[in-house]
């Protein structure tokens, strides 16, 4: 435990450096920054949902800049092809052979901007990359760089020209972070900052070795068996609400969370503990990541949608009811 404590404490200064650098261009949005860091530390992918103008893309770009990793962006549009994402084979007339031309997916941090604007065929092109961290072009399979993280954004308001993400792909995102409007004070700070002639620039503040050590430090964070049982209870409550005295919630859930929810809750809770400088995860860490992990994995019933019950409402009821160890 002492060794794990030393490893975790050594990452505190690295995490603070990243936060401060991102703070040069981000005002408020502490939850969003935490979600991005948790996804990166946990080697998961993250989906950001919010109306335009809430700094979703800016947050992702600032994380990439602070980490000093290779960053690429794909603007998803209805006419995008799978080959525009993963790459294709190009015929070389000189030696009469086909050569691979790798797509933008070959990077460390990939921003899939407005991912719900592309059709399902293009969205599914990311499935192998997100799950297997490799891509097949022609008959050859190529490993993606390490680390590799997909950060996608989507606009929940517009319906014209958009395609809902398939459940199989949504489930591959570790977190779904809902970005909300800033507070009045934060918006005033945004206004003052962007009317200034001087614009802040993001620079790398960590070395590649520190990036690798930050992700490796997660293995040193301990999760007690009781916390693990708490995670299992929460996920089980999404599948069988009545067993946890959530009879009213049972009618709101069409399908509960998948086993990936259990794995990501466990990983996310330990990553949250790492952000707080603790070598062990607590039930509070589980609660902090529960909405991000579960909100896109719970399928609501028609009745719930008709009554404007959201997945966040369901998760809140579950967290308020399931006994905390």
Per-residue pLDDT at 165: 78
Q: Is the pLDDT of residue 193 over 80?
A: no
Per-residue pLDDT at 129: 83
Q: How far apart are CA 35 and CA 82, in angstroms?
A: 28
Query: Half-sphere exposure of 190 toward its Cβ, with a 13 Å CA cutoff?
Result: 15
The per-residue pLDDT for range 8-55, each reduced to its tens digit, is: 777 888 899 999 888 888 877 788 889 999 999 999 999 988 877 777
Q: Which two tokens stand for residue 43?
A: 């080697």
Helix (H, G, I), strand (E, B) or coil at 175: strand
* Average pLDDT value for the chain: 86
Cβ-in-10-Å burial (0-12, 13-18, 19+) of 250 comes to middle
Q: Is 43 left (phi over 0), alpha (psi -120 to 50) or beta?
A: left
> Is 144 within 8 Å of 133 (Cβ atoms)?
yes
Give every CB contact of residue 307 below 8 A, 6+ residues apart in sequence: none
The per-residue pLDDT for range 119-172, each reduced to its tens digit, is: 888 887 887 788 888 888 888 888 999 889 998 888 776 666 567 777 777 888
Q: Is the pLDDT of residue 1 over 60?
A: no
Helix (H, G, I), strand (E, B) or coil at 15: helix
Give every CB contact of residue 252 below 8 A, 6+ residues apart in sequence: 300, 301, 303, 304, 309, 313, 314
Q: Is the pLDDT of residue 2 over 70?
A: no
With a threshold of 0.85, does the pTM exceed it? yes
Per-residue pLDDT at 5: 66
State phi, psi for 202 to the nearest 5 degrees: -90, 130
Cβ-in-10-Å burial (0-12, 13-18, 19+) of 313 comes to middle
Q: Which domains does the chain show, CATH number per domain?
A: 23-214 (3.40.50.300), 221-321 (1.10.8.80)
- Residue 271 — pLDDT band, cuts 50, 70, 90? very high
State phi, psi for 267 to the nearest 5 degrees: -65, -45
State phi, psi for 281 to the nearest 5 degrees: -90, 150
Q: Which two tokens stand for residue 171?
A: 């489930």
- Report which secondary-structure segment, H or E, holds 226: helix 225-239
Per-residue pLDDT at 265: 96
Residue with tokens 């092809």: 81
Q: How far apart are CA 173 and CA 215, in angstroms?
A: 18
User: What is the dihedral sign for C-alpha 304, 160, 165, 315?
Assistant: negative
Q: Which two tokens stand for residue 318?
A: 């579950």
């Amino acid at each position: 435990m002492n060794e794990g404590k030393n490893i975790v404490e050594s990452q505190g200064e690295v995490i603070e450096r990243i936060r401060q650098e991102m703070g040069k261009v981000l005002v408020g949005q502490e939850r969003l920054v935490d979600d991005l860091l948790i996804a990166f530390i946990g080697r998961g992918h993250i989906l950001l949902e919010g109306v335009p103008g809430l700094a979703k893309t800016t947050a992702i770009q600032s994380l990439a800049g602070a980490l000093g990793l290779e960053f690429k962006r794909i603007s998803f549009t209805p006419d995008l092809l799978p080959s525009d994402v993963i790459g294709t084979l190009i015929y070389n007339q000189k030696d009469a052979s086909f050569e691979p031309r790798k797509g933008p997916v070959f990077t460390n941090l990939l921003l899939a901007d407005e991912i719900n604007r592309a059709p399902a065929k293009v969205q599914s092109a990311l499935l192998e990359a997100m799950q297997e961290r490799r891509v097949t072009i022609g008959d050859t399979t190529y490993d993606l760089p390490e680390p590799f993280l997909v950060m996608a954004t989507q606009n929940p308001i517009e319906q014209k020209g958009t395609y809902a993400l398939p459940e199989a792909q949504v489930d591959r995102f570790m977190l779904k972070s809902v970005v909300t409007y800033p507070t009045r004070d934060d918006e005033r700070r945004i206004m003052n900052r962007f009317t200034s002639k001087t614009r802040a620039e993001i620079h790398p503040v960590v070395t590649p070795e520190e990036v690798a050590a930050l992700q490796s430090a997660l293995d040193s964070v301990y999760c007690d068996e009781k916390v693990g049982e708490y995670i299992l209870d929460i996920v089980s409550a999404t599948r069988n609400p009545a067993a946890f005295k959530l009879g009213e919630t049972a009618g709101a859930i069409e399908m509960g969370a998948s086993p990936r929810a259990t794995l990501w809750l466990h990983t996310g809770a330990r990553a949250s503990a790492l952000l707080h400088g603790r070598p062990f995860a607590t039930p509070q860490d589980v609660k902090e990541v529960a909405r991000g992990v579960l909100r896109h994995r719970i399928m609501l019933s028609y009745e719930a949608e008709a009554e404007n019950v959201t997945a966040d409402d369901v998760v809140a009821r579950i967290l308020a009811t399931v006994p905390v160890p």
